[in-house]
Amino acid sequence: MNPTPASSGSRALIATPAANAAEPAQVLTFMLAGEAYGIGILSIKEIISYTALTTVPMMPAFARGVINLRGAVVPVMDLLSRFGKPSSEVTRRTCIVIVEIQVQGERQDIGIVVDAVNEVLDIPTSEIEPPPAFGSHIRADFIRGMGKVRGRFVILLALEHVLSTHDIVALQSAADASH
C-alpha cells in the first residue's frame, strides 16, 4: 500500500489503491473487554491518551462526548457501547484512537475509546478469514474479517459500518451544537 501524508501536515494517511491485492493488511490492534480488535492503519490519524471529555446533550448513547483536538471539536465514540455492551472502566492504558473517515464527501475525525493499544501488525491476506455467520457478540456487518495472528484471532472492524453515515451525522451535529 502506498500511504500518502495528508496535505494538512498532520500525521493522517490517505488510502491509495493497493498495487497488489495479496499485500498484507496493516492493522493497529487494540483491546476491548479482553478481545483483540484491529482497524486498518490508513484510517488512523493519531492515538492520544484518554482525556476528560465534554458530554453533550442529545448525543447517541454510544457517544462518550467530545474533545478539543488542536482547536477542532472531535466526537468520541465508545465502541463497546456501540456493540451493545457495557462500557469499560477507564484505566491508565485507556486511549482514544483518532480515525479519519469520509462522511457525505467530507473528511471527519472521530475518536474511538479503546482499553489499550497493542501494536501494528502485517496480516497476510491468506490469514484473514471471512466474518463468522453467527456466534459473534457484535453485528456481522461491523466485521471485515478475522485475522489469524500467533494462533489467535483479531477481529478486523469495518469502520464504514461501525461508524455509519447516519450515526456520524448525528454525532457531528451534537458536537457542532457544543461550540
Contact 42, 102 (CB under 8 A): no
Contact 102, 33 (CB under 8 A): no
SS3 letters for 18-58? CCCCCCCEEEEEEEECCEEEEEEHHHEEEEEECCCCECCCC
Tens of pLDDT, residue by residue over 61-104, are 888 999 999 999 999 999 998 888 888 899 999 999 999 988 77
* All domains in the chain, ordered by first residue: 4-177 (2.40.50.180)
C-alpha to C-alpha distance for 148 and 86, rounded to whole angstroms: 27
Which pLDDT does position 1 carry in this prediction? Answer: 41
pTM equals 0.77
Per-residue confidence band for 163, with pLDDT thresholds at 50, 70 and 90: confident
